Amino acid sequence: MNGRQQQDSLTECDVLVIGGGPAGSAVAPLLAQKGYRVVLLEKAHHPRFHIGESLLPANLPLLEQLGVADEVRAIGMEKWGAEFVSPWHAHGQAFQFADAWDKSMPHAYQVKRADFDHILIRNAARKGVEVIEGCKVKTVDFLPDDQGVIIRAEHDDGREAGWKARFVVDASGRDTFLANRFQIKHKNPRHNSSAMYAHFSGAVRNAGQAEGNITIFWFEHGWFWFIPLSDGSTSVGATVWPYYMKTRAGRSLGQFLSDTIATCPPLAERLKDAKMVTEAEATGNFSYVSERNHGSNYLLLGDAYAFIDPVFSSGVMLAMNSGFEGAKAIDACLSRPREAAAALRQFDHVMKHGPKAFSWFIYRITNPTMRDIFMAPRNIFRVKEALLSVLAGDIFGKTPIWTGLRIFKVIYYLSFIGNFRQSLAGWQRRRVNIKPVDETGLGVGR
């Protein structure tokens, strides 16, 4: 079969989206509603397990715009704030989203991602997207002179299929399909961590409105998350420095996670009568970034472009926001070519802005100076409100938080100098901790 015959056998569409997670299931219906023919290919079948259950208040307006707010509310555990627990401090510190600069977003939700992602992808189908599950993309070939993109995929039963699209969107998450194809994905040299996690029943929760709050437990080798879910289960995970995963020494992953929890007494106390109800899983190389996030007829969204440490629960919000920004950029490229260059520059700016806003804090969150500030926050010049706005994900709108954040950073640097020996020792430890290790034997997976 010659090239013309091969192309004639392809199904044509305007936009093909690779991946049906929060990014793909946001961009696809937004484009379909503008009249574009959109195909979404998802390698799995929803509902399927996924980690990353904690949403931010900034997610809620996006859910409203997609028309799924009521469905998510029905499955969600209300999350009104976040709590930090430190072995180096005698008290915990709770932050309430209602105390952020913008008082109109006082809460978020904790969600089982299987249910949440299922809601999003079904919504995409209702809005006119051709959703095909159990279909894994194998190749993406860009035609010369921006004439389109050829995408070939394989169904679960072995059937092959192909599409010719005007535009392709990589929303494949940590599979990073296009970044791997282009060889532009790099480990983040300023951060490196691994994680292991499972769901538990019978965990002790906070009382009253704080029941659904996420709790972050610092410990010697990294930090734990504790995320209560609406069905009574709790997601618990440890994000650790790479060297720590090498200490597993033949233990099952479940046993290793249990032993790691035992090293954090406040968390162990809340799990003393709890039972692990899912198999423990693990993932490595937690932080990475790609050299670029777009070309003339493709975009990389969410985790397909970059992934940062999840300590501030930013992943789903950044992914969904990238879908909204991506839809605007693609609409300009396909319908208003003269605006394409400016639209892609704006998209690039937003995609870089999100991880950058969170990463400054992530790179320093384990430093003793930053921990001290987090555990005793003050609202001088409204810096606490600005910090809470970041924790709420309110970094893309018009909320005037940036002067407060600059003042916060000045306070941090002055405190760093004032506690120079302790701060320098923490900085030096971190430089050692983020060094990559040979991944053989890390036990990534189960």
Confidence of residue 284 (pLDDT cuts 50, 70, 90): confident
Structure tokens at 149: 């993109």
Alpha helices in 108-240 (DSSP H): 113-126, 177-182
- Give 131's strand partners: 40
- Alpha-carbon gap, residue 70 to 49, rounded angstroms: 22
Write the CA distances from 440 to 79, 180, 245, 246, integer angstroms.
38, 20, 10, 9
> What pLDDT score does 189 carry?
84
Q: What is the DSSP string of 207-244?
A: SGGGGG-EEEEEETTEEEEEEE-TTSEEEEEEEE-HHH
Determine whether 185 is exposed, middle or buried from the number of CB atoms within 10 Å of its CB (0-12, 13-18, 19+): buried
Overall average pLDDT of the 291-314 stretch? 96
Does residue 285 register a pLDDT over 70? no
Does residue 443 register a pLDDT over 60? no
**pLDDT, tens digit, 9 for 90 and up, residues 191-249:** 888 999 999 999 999 999 999 999 999 999 999 999 999 999 999 999 999 899 999 99
pTM greater than the 0.85 cutoff: yes
Confidence of residue 6 (pLDDT cuts 50, 70, 90): low
* Block residue for tokens 């707010």: 69
Alpha helices in 242-298 (DSSP H): 242-245, 253-262, 265-270
Confidence of residue 9 (pLDDT cuts 50, 70, 90): confident
